Amino acid sequence: MFRLHREGTPSIIITILVTGGLLLLSNQFLTGFPWLQGLVALVCAFLLVMILQFFRNPKRTTVCTGHQVVCPADGKVVVIEETEENEFFKDKRLQVSIFMSPINVHVNRYPLSGEVVYSKYHPGLYLVAWHPKSSTENERTTVVVKSDNGTPVLFRQIAGALARRIVCYAKVADKAVAGEEFGFIKFGSRVDLFFPLGTKINVQLNQVVRGGETILAELS
Active site residues: 189
Note whether 102 and 54 are within 8 A (CB): yes
What is the DSSP annotation of 64-115?
Answer: --TTEEE-SSSEEEEEEEEEEETTTT-EEEEEEEEEE-TTS--EEE-SS-EE
Contact 182, 113 (CB under 8 A): no
Give the span between the Cα atoms of 168 and 58, in whole angstroms: 18
